Structure 1
Amino acid sequence: MNCSKTNENEVVQEGIQPWYKEGLRFECQRCGRCCRGEPGVVWVNKKEVEEISAFLGITKNAFAKNYLRSVNDRVSLVEYGNGDCVMYDNGCKIYDVRPSQCRSFPFWTSNLEDRSEWEKVKKTCPGIDKGNLHTIKSIEDNVKIYEGRFR
Structure 2
Amino acid sequence: MDDEEQAAIAEAAGISLMELRLKRTRLIGGRVSLRERANGDCTFLDPNTRKCTVYAARPVQCRTWPFWDSNLNTPADWERTKAECPGAGVGQLVSLQDIRRQANQRSL
Instruction: Give the structure-1-normalised TM-score.
Output: 0.58
* Equivalent residue, structure 2, for 1:92: 52
In our comparison, the structure showing a higher alpha carbon Rg is 1
Aligned to 2:107: 147
Which structure 2 residues correspond to residues 1-151 of structure 1 after superposition, within 5 A? 44-71=1-28, 73-90=30-47, 91-148=51-108
Letter in 1 for 2:65: F
Quick one: structure 1 residues 66 and 112, their matched pair in 2 at CA, closer, same or farther if it must change by over 3 Å? closer
Separation (CA, whole Å) in 1 of partners of 2:20 and 2:74: 38
Do the aligned partners of residues 93 and 123 (structure 1) sit closer, same or farther apart at CA in structure 2, a change above 3 Å counting?
same
How many Å apart are 1:107 and its aligned residue?
A: 0.7
Q: Using a 3 Å threshold, how does the CA distance of structure 1 residues 141 and 77 change in structure 2: closer, same or farther?
A: same
Q: Which stretch has the larger CA shift, 127-136 or 81-90?
A: 81-90
Shift of 1:105: 1.0
SS at match of 1:86: coil
Q: Distance in 1 between matches of 2:106 and 2:4?
A: 15
TM-score (norm 2): 0.76
Deviations 1:47-79 (A, max 9, x none): 211111122233312322332334554433233
Amino acid at match of 1:107: F
Q: Corresponding residue for 1:37?
A: none
- In 2, Cα distance between equivalents of 1:97 and 1:69: 18
Q: 1:139 deviation in Å?
A: 0.7
The answer to which structure has the higher strand fraction is 1
- Residues 79 and 127 of structure 1: is their aligned pair in 2 closer, same or farther, counting only changes over 3 Å? closer
RMSD: 2.2
**Unmatched tracts of structure 1, length 5 or more:** 1-43
Gaps of 5+ in 2: none
Aligned length: 105
